[in-house]
Each structure stands twice: as C-alpha cells, then as structure tokens.
Structure 1
C-alpha cells in the first residue's frame, strides 16, 4: 500500500508541476523577483538612513558635551582666579566626567561610521545588482515575447496549434468518412449491376416483364425505320422480292410459254 500511495503522490506532483508550468508566465516571475529585490534595496537604504540618523544624534551629543567641558574648564579657571579653589576643583571633576562621556560617544561614533560605510557600500552593490537584473529581465522578457509570438505564428501557419490541430483532425475525420461512404456506394452499385443485389426502388416482379417490353419496343422501332428507308429507295433500285418455293413451282417454264 505504501508503494502504491507513493506512486499516486508522485503522479499527482507530476500533474501539478505540468499544470503549474502551463500556467506560469516567466515574465510575471521575473517582474515579481525584481520587485522583491527592490524591496530589499529599500530596506537596506532605510537601514543606512537609520544608522546615519543615529550617528548624527551621537555627534550632536558629543558636540554638546564638548561645549559643556569647555565651559566647565572656563568656570574652574574663574573660580580659581577668585580664590575659590574648592569650587574650581568641583568644576574640573565634572569636566572629567564629561570627558569620559565624550570618549564613550566617540567610540560609538566610530562604530556607527563603520556600520554606515558598510551599509552604504552594500546598498551601492545591491543597487548595481538590481539595475543589472532589471536590464537582464527586460532582455529576457523581450526575447520570450518574441519567441512566443513566433511560435504562435508558426503554429498558425503549419496548423499544429491546439485549436488548428483540432480543426485539422476534424477535417481528416470528415474526409475519411466521405471516402468510406463513396467506396460503399460504389460497391453497392457494382453489386446491383451484377445482379447480386436488387434495386429496391423497382416494383417487385416487374424486372423480367419490363425487360421483354423494352426488347419488343426496340425491335418495333428497328422494323419501322427499315420500312421507311425502303420507301425512300427508287423503284429500279428496290431489291427483288424473294420468292417462296411454292410460287416458283407454279410459274410455267420456257417451253410452256413458247
């Protein structure tokens, strides 16, 4: 049972693959793939923009901290000039903390710049591939469209298309049927002429009588025509009548006439 089930499943997969192959249009598949690549390129570009935005934000924070550190240094100098050493020390301590933050931000900036450069390079490469794919896609689509048109024209001319193929088969069947009927009609005519079959359109029992009537009528026509031809001949050219034996016996001989 397992083997039969596997064979049935394989058969269904083959049928499904053939149906999908007939329904699939390569041009639509290429367009769909191109749109997928464009969406991927847009995601990479959004990633580059997000990293660039983060970098700008960190740069702004670093700039603000640098300004704060410069301000604290100025305040420490002013406090020291005013004789307030403790206040100057506090300002310098805060400036040290700000400097540490600036150092951390600079590390983040370095990492963000590296990420941005990598993503920008990846986006450029991907964009070049998408453009190349678009050019290749249009070339393949044009070739497929031309091949499809040429195939349809060739099928129409040679009559091997599905629709014209059905028409051709129907014409062939009609021609074969006509030839069969013609052959059957010829065979029946030969059988009727030979007497093996009777003509059903003639009245039953009248064939012999009609044939005899036809012969008598033909004989009468011949005698009538012969009589007319004799009447047209001159009297001298008329052939002597053939005497019967009895008439020649009754005629007197030469001795009797003398």
Structure 2
C-alpha cells in the first residue's frame, strides 16, 4: 500500500510540476500580452475609422447646406431684380437661418477633425509600441528557448534531471528488495541443509539417508584415526613406498578398500 501511495504521489507531483511550468512559461505570457496590445490597436483603428466616417458624413451634409446657401443668395438677387422685395427678404431670412446651422455643423466638423488627428497619432504611437514589443518578445522567447535547451542538455549530461530524485528513490528501493531476496535465499538454503525445511523435490526418506551418510562418514574417520594410533600400515591413509610408487591411474584407488596381500 505504501509503494502504491508513493507512486501515486510521484505521478501527481510530476503532473503538477508540468502544469505550473506551463502556467509560468514566460513565452506564453509574452504572447498573451502581445495579443492584448494587438486587440487594443485594432480598437483604436476602429475608432479612427468611425470618427472619419462621422466627419465624412458631416462634410457631405455641409456641402449640401453650402449649395443651398448659394442658391438662396441667387434667389434673393433674382427676386430683387424682378421687384419682388418680399421674396428677396424671405430668401435672405432662410439663408440667415441656414448660416447658423452651417456654423454649428462647422464646429462639429472641426471637433471631429481634431479627434481624428488625435486618434491617428495614438494609433501611430501604439503601432510603433506593438512592433517594438513584438521584436523584443521574439528575442526573449528565442533566448528563453535556447537557455531551456541548454539546461536540459546540461542536466542530461550531469544526470540531474528534475525526476532524478524519483529515479534515485526507485533505484534504492530496488536495491533493498534485491538484498532482501538474497538474504532470504541464503536463509532457505541453510534451512534446507539443516532439515528445518522439507525439500519437496527430494526422494522419499532422503533425510534419513543423509543422516546415515553423515554417520557413516564419521565412523570411517574414527576408524582411520584409530588405525593410525595403533600403527596399522594397512590404513588407506598411507600405504608406504609401494603405494607412493603407483602409476598414473593411482588416483583411481583413492577411497577404495586396500587389497589383501
């Protein structure tokens, strides 16, 4: 359970680190700032277009009013030439009213013209700032990308990657398990040898045969030792000069009972 919990924590920590690195990536932050500036520039340009449209509409309206203003003046002179002073007066009165309207229209036109000039200047400055920011943004992104690649390369060479701690922990845990398994194998070997554990692959009554063989070997050693104490030259321990002068196959007689003279 503890190994699974540790593994889950490792995976969660790895994913969290990736998310944080993505959020803190300055390249994405710079791109977001650049997009916001571009949107602001588009809004200013749209405002310039709207103001220019309003100014053009007032200009057309002023041209119409100017044409009417000239026509009323011509009508007043023609009526006066024909002796119609009343018509001339009416034309001049309308012309006076129109002149007031034209004056107000001129004020609006001048205000829009000034506003257009201000917006165009702001648009020019903002466009320059956006262009300069774009160059600096790309420079910073390129520098960051190169530095990031260098860090990864250095970490790969030095073996100090961000996941080396987890790798070290896994390696240490594997070493512990290997040591435990080796100790267990040695312990089971000793238990099988001592008879504490039953060898299921051994023949029936193998434990009795093993104990009898051990007793027989001990009895043989005791017999040879007793013979040596009594000075018996027939012992297999030492057969004398003749025994030592045997041929190359003498080793085949080691452990065999001596021949009777």
TM-score by length of structure 2 reads 0.66
Following the alignment from structure 1 to structure 2, what is the Cα–Cα distance between the partners of residues 70 and 121? 37
The corresponding residue for 1:21 is: 20
CA distance in 1, matches of 2:128, 2:112: 24
In the other structure, the counterpart of 2:151 is 151
* Mapping for residues 72-221 of structure 1, pairs under 5 Å: 72-175=72-175, 199-200=193-194, 203-204=210-211, 207=214, 209-214=216-221, 220-221=235-236
Shift of 1:224: 2.5
Aligned residue in 2 for 1:56: 56
Cα deviation for residue 54 of structure 1 reads: 0.7
Answer whether contact 1:48 1:116 (CA < 8 A) is retained.
yes
Inter-partner Cα distance in structure 2 for 1:166 and 1:22? 18
Contact 1:159 1:165 survives alignment (8 Å): no
Q: Which ranges of structure 1 fall in alignment gaps of 5 or more residues?
A: 1-16, 233-258
Shift of 1:27: 2.0
Between stretches 49-58 and 174-183, larger displacement belongs to 174-183
Which is higher, the Rg of structure 1 or of structure 2? Answer: 1
Q: Residues of 1 paired with 2:192 and 2:224: CA distance? A: 24
Find the counterpart in structure 1 of residue 69 from structure 2. 69
RMSD of equivalent CA atoms: 3.5
Give me the whole-angstrom Cα distance separating, in 2, the residues matched to 1:167 and 1:184.
26
Q: In the alignment, which residue of structure 2 is the partner of 1:223? A: 238
**Take 2:89 and 2:97, find their aligned partners in 1: how far apart are those partners?**
13
Alpha-carbon offset, residue 205 of structure 1: 7.5
The alignment partner of 1:161 has SS state of coil
Q: Is the alpha carbon distance of 1:208 and 1:85 closer, same or farther for their aligned partners in structure 2, counting shifts above 3 Å? A: same
1:26-45 aligned at under 5 Å gives the runs 26-45=26-45
Q: Which moved more, 1:18-27 or 1:43-52?
A: 18-27
- CA drift of 1:97 comes to 1.0
Alpha-carbon distance between aligned partners in 2 of 1:110 and 1:226, rounded to the nearest angstrom: 142
Q: For residues 6-53 of structure 1, what are the alpha-carbon distances to aligned partners after superposition, in whole Å with 9 as ceiling and x for unaligned? A: xxxxxxxxxxx9886334133222222211111111111000011011
Q: Distance in 1 between matches of 2:148 and 2:221?
A: 73
**What TM-score comes out, normalization by structure 1 length?**
0.67
Q: How many residues align?
A: 210
> Gaps (5+ residues) in structure 2?
1-15, 196-206, 229-234, 248-261
Counterparts of 1:228 and 1:53, CA distance in 2: 131
After TM superposition, give the deviation of residue 227 of structure 1 in Å: 3.1
